[in-house]
Amino acid sequence: MARSFDTLTAAEIAAGIAAGDFSAAEVCAAALDAIAAREPEVQAFLQVTPELAQDAAARIDAARAAGEALPPLAGVPVAIKDNMNLTGTRTTCASRMLETYESPYTATCVARMLAAGCIPVGKANMDEFAFGSSTDSSAYHPTNNPWDTTRVPGGSSGGSAAAVAAGMVPLSLGSDTGGSIRQPAALCGIVGMKPTYGAVSRYGVVAFGSSLDQVGPFGRTVEDVALAMDALVAGGRDAYDSTSQEVAPAFAAAAAAAGEGLAGVRIGMVPAFMEAEGLTPEVRRGVERAAQTLADAGAEIVEVDLPHVDAAIAAYYVIGPAEAFSNLARFDGIRYGYQEPGCTNLATQSALSRAHGFGDEAKRRQMLGAYLLSSGVYDTYYYAAQKARTLITADYNAAFAQVDAILMPATPHAAFRHGEISDPTQMYLSDMYTISLNIAGNGGIVVPVGLGEDTGLPMAAQLVAPAFADERLVTYAAAIERGLANGNNGASVLGVAPAFAGKGGELR
């Protein structure tokens, strides 16, 4: 009997291909078919890459026919955020600035997903240069939230999240500088993970804030995210990213360990986070549901304090723009990027190329960064932000002396409508729960906790672990998923957004 490919997890697709239940070519065809059927309403992609996908699928099928052992994610379709280089694709960062930029090589994170057997179906939409929380700042088109297409998917990795939530791919990659994996995962009802800074190589990912950026996966189940994490860290530290560290590929095993319960585990909660202004009651109830599930699995819930964390957003909007200003200086139409025609001198060339190549938010961030790094101003803001960073990091370290992980909201509210938040400062607040982790460097995971009673939209909780203890995140998130997915096969709390489930993409 024909079934839609979106009923399968990444783990099930790889197992089905290895067992000969279906071929990688069939899965690839189903994924491209699902994309064709769903993409007009979702618009998650900037570029779909059928040839790259079909070639990769053919290689998997040939390897299987030759009796070779298949890699762990053989035949699993994956979407790649468009700030990651992949040979044979453009890497536009959703900017006019890089409209014609062809990837000169493949980013390490992408190469590792391909080495694990994934088939690349396309490059996903994002906020321009990853500045944003809605994906509405893409220079090309907005992306729609599959749970309600009048709403945003979050950002900046909104295309990567929407592609997974709409069932077009089981896995995707995003990047997270202040919340860009975790906030869209929360708004789209899927799992998203930002590992500890340094766990995944940034080589080949267009830099935004070099001390904050980290790559991570999206999936519909914790197990799938764990499998992607194993793929991303396999091969050890990357000599091309000096901050990259050796991490054991023990994530899938850690997700499975949730079955043993959480006796002896201490989970911290920050009372101030649960009472914060702007947190909607339905999100708070969702996080409380997650806490109850962890307690039911045997964990002890205790209160912890992060006294300086209120300074995180302010510190981030100094450090982030300062680093972005430095990183984006190369896009001047001379070294890289859009080149304004007809200019007769270099200064005009650079000024006009930048004026016409960048959108509003990218300009706002760079002007802010330029100002913050100017003499006189630098001491007042940049040093203060670095001091706040030290204090926030110390807060987390002190909390982790008492608890194994911290449970908190991922976002203050459910997905908002396109255009609903027009004030940039208001938009920045949508990352009030995610930013402090990038400041401190710790890893975080977002897991769906069901639909909100008031909006009917996906709700989520976030877990944070000590630096380089990211495997705990998947164990505890898997425990939440198991506890909440009763009657749903234990597989996924929400699954594919109902309007898109089964729409095209039949596996024949």
Confirm or reject binding of residue 131 to ligand GLN (CB under 6 A). Answer: yes
Query: Residue 54: what are its φ and ψ, rounded to 5°?
Result: -65, -40
Cβ of residue 16: shortest distance to ligand GLN, in angstroms?
Answer: 34
Cβ of residue 422: shortest distance to ligand GLN, in angstroms?
Answer: 15
Closest alpha carbon to 10 in 76, 78, 106: 76
Give the CA distances from residue 388 to residues 130, 244, 307, 313, 339, in Å, rounded to whole numbers and listed in that order: 24, 24, 11, 10, 39
Q: Which stretch binds ligand GLN (CB under 6 A): 27-35, 127-135, 280-288, 382-390?
A: 127-135
User: Pick from 133, 160, 455, 462: which binds ligand GLN (CB under 6 A)?
Assistant: 133
Cβ of residue 127: shortest distance to ligand GLN, in angstroms?
Answer: 7
Q: Which stretch binds ligand GLN (CB under 6 A): 9-17, 115-123, 124-132, 415-423?
A: 124-132
Host H or E run for residue 214? strand 214-219
Residues 6+ apart with CB under 8 A from 257: 475, 478
Cβ distance to ligand GLN smaller for residue 208 or 416: 208
Q: Which stretch binds ligand GLN (CB under 6 A): 91-99, 172-180, 294-302, 469-477?
A: 172-180
Confirm or reject binding of residue 320 to ligand GLN (CB under 6 A). Answer: yes
Confirm or reject binding of residue 410 to ligand GLN (CB under 6 A). Answer: no
Cβ of residue 315: shortest distance to ligand GLN, in angstroms?
Answer: 12
Residues annotated catalytic, as ranges: 81, 156, 180
Confirm or reject binding of residue 465 to ligand GLN (CB under 6 A). Answer: no
3 state SS for 78-132: EEEECCECCCCCECCCCCHHHCCCECCCCCHHHHHHHHCCCEEEEEECCCHHHCC
CA angle 155, 158, 163 (to 5 degrees): 165
Confirm or reject binding of residue 279 to ligand GLN (CB under 6 A). Answer: no
Q: What is the dihedral of CA 319, 325, 328, 331, to 10 degrees?
A: 180
Cβ of residue 132: shortest distance to ligand GLN, in angstroms?
Answer: 5
Strands (E), 229-364: 266-269, 300-303
Cβ distance to ligand GLN smaller for residue 179 or 204: 179
Distance CA 228, CA 169 (A): 13
User: Pick from 49, 177, 436, 475: which binds ligand GLN (CB under 6 A)?
Assistant: 177
| DSSP state, residue 310 | G
Closest alpha carbon to 174 in 137, 130, 121, 226: 130
User: Pick from 85, 138, 143, 156: which binds ligand GLN (CB under 6 A)?
Assistant: 156
Cβ of residue 275: shortest distance to ligand GLN, in angstroms?
Answer: 23
Confirm or reject binding of residue 395 to ligand GLN (CB under 6 A). Answer: no
Ramachandran region of residue 324, left (φ > 0), alpha (ψ -120 to 50) or beta?
A: alpha
Cβ distance to ligand GLN smaller for residue 183 or 475: 183
Q: Which stretch binds ligand GLN (CB under 6 A): 30-38, 130-138, 476-484, 493-501?
A: 130-138
Cβ distance to ligand GLN smaller for residue 445 or 451: 445
Span 180-209, contacts to ligand GLN by CB under 6 A:
180, 208
Sequence letter at residue 86: L
| DSSP state, residue 502 | T
User: Pick from 130, 231, 415, 497: which binds ligand GLN (CB under 6 A)?
Assistant: 130
Cβ of residue 238: shortest distance to ligand GLN, in angstroms?
Answer: 20
Distance CA 502, CA 489 (A): 18
Binding site for ligand GLN (CB under 6 A): 130-133, 156, 176-180, 208, 320, 431
